[in-house]
Structure 1
Amino acid sequence: MSTPSTQDFDPVLHIGNQVLTSAEVVPLLQGYGMLPALIKELVIDQAIAPVTLTPEQTAQALEQFLQANQVTTPEQQQAFLAQRGLAEADLTRLAERFLKLQQYKLDTWGHQVESYFLQRKSRLDRVLYSLIRTQDAGLAQELYFRVQDDGQPLADLARQYSEGQEAQTGGLIGPVELSVPHPSLARLLAISQPGQLWPPTRVGEWFVVVRLEKFLPARLDAPTRQRLIDELFTTWLAEQVQREMQTNCRPQTP
């Protein structure tokens, strides 16, 4: 085991009457569950280090950063810096960091978006549907026939009999992505045609009568593209943080 250097005992923080040394900071971060957050930011810094910005991009990034944080006056800027323990030069660094990260994501995962979209599309498609749920199987069957055979409005029956929050909207739910409903219900909706009413189906503790109202296929537009790039980045970042945690936080051998 290596002998701690004198630098390990140099005071780095003074909190009230407590003085923390450099050797104490990492164990404290780990004890408070804050070490993964620090590692995440360091991984990001290392990843975006090669990204360069033009002066025009830096100026634009700073303007966007200030607007996003509602910093529009010199007084607000000073308060923003004071609350975070930052110097004025840090504003530009933070603004550049955000823009560099966006560029890094695009350069690294932008070419994967089309194939990733095809993998995710079945979960990104959205549906608008009507639902009646009850824990009474007999009642669910009766309500199904009242809609299917007697032509009674599903919305009216949902308001009267449905036992979930959808009763307040006449049974109408959505549009929501197909990843949102219970998996059993999502499978039904995925193979439904608009207007198709399903007989009572067991979903968890409920018996549901469901009708697809509208199917809205996902499109690879700009917001979806950015969302998928962010998903790919988040997955990568979580893997990097986990690897670094395993490397740096191994139990000490007695």
Structure 2
Amino acid sequence: MTPVLQFGNQTITAAEALKLLAGYQMLPQLCRFLIIDQAITSLSSANAPILLLSEEKTSAIEQYYENNQLTTPAQREAWLKHYGMSGEQLESLATRELRIEKFKQAIWGSKVESYFLQYKPQLDKVVYSLLRTSDAEAAQELYFRIKAGEQTFAECASLYSQGQEAQTGGLVGPVGLSQPHPAIAQKLAISQPGQLWPPMQLENWVVIIRLEKLIPAQLDDATRITLLNHLFETWLTEELNNTQISLTTDAPTPSLVTQ
């Protein structure tokens, strides 16, 4: 077989290189790059190509050089030698993230709003008070004290709660509604601010909760980016799961076969 890599005194063939990638658990990462690049190339050849304006490309390359301390020709030359790359490959690498962002926008940009509306309840955040104890009778007594105004929730949580929330007077959040225990999240989702719930058994605990504040999710720039990234990663995971990787030992060059 034709050698593909000379490492010191060791010659590594194509078949051996692929086996090394597999042995070092690097094949999934390679496949990830291949799937993304193939998708971007395919889209660029379609009716909605990914185009980089000259100033966008220049800015992306300059930013990459600055971030990686490649601002001088000598630094770039050393980088190319270290990674065995060509100048063209370095420029492609420098603009890769920008091309990926444009790919996300081209494929899912028009779907973000409907996706946001569909999953908005899971994106809303809450601030709530939590008190938990292993003593059911004590929980009942504390609930009545809080309800009657004999003691504040913060006082009871600080004195009697057996979780780390005792350090904050029972306050938790802001957190997404997907983060608390599902039983707690269900109560919070249907609560009005200030609503106090009677003690409920939750695994080894008896808990008292009260919704303090609901923070509705907004489709701002940060949320849009989060949703775009989620849609992109979901697609990429599906593509990876549908990709067959085969190590061919009886042919001159091993292949990655994508279904």
- Cα 1:77–1:139 shift into 2, 3 Å: farther
Q: Deviations over 1:50-109 (max 9, x none)?
A: 122121110121233345x36375487677667655555444211211111100100100
Alignment RMSD, CA only? Answer: 2.4
1:211 Cα deviation after fit: 0.7
Please tell me whether residue 47 in structure 1 is matched to residue 39 in structure 2: yes
1:76-95 paired onto structure 2 within 5 Å? 84=83, 86=85, 88-95=87-94
1:134 Cα deviation after fit: 1.2
Q: Please tell me whether the aligned partners of residues 71 and 80 of structure 1 are also in contact (alpha carbons under 8 angstroms).
A: no
* Secondary structure, aligned partner of 2:242: helix
Match of 2:129 in 1: 130
Structure 2: gaps spanning 5 or more residues: 45-49, 250-259
- Cα 1:201–1:83 shift into 2, 3 Å: farther
Match of 1:4 in 2: none
Match of 2:238 in 1: 239
Greater CA deviation, 17-26 or 189-198? 17-26
Please tell me whether residue 34 in structure 1 is matched to residue 33 in structure 2: no
Q: Deviations over 1:31-59 (max 9, x none)?
A: 33221110000111111121221211101
Match of 2:139 in 1: 140
The number of equivalent residue pairs is 241
1:231 Cα deviation after fit: 0.7
Match of 1:118 in 2: 117
What letter is aligned with 2:30? L
Match of 1:248 in 2: 245
* Secondary structure, aligned partner of 1:198: strand
What letter is aligned with 1:24? E
Q: Please tell me whether the aligned partners of residues 200 and 207 of structure 2 are also in contact (alpha carbons under 8 angstroms).
A: yes
Match of 1:173 in 2: 172
Identical positions, percent: 50
Name which of 52, 58, 71 aligns with 2:69.
71
1:220 Cα deviation after fit: 0.8
TM-score normalized by structure 1? Answer: 0.85
Q: Please tell me whether the aligned partners of residues 113 and 229 of structure 1 are also in contact (alpha carbons under 8 angstroms).
A: yes
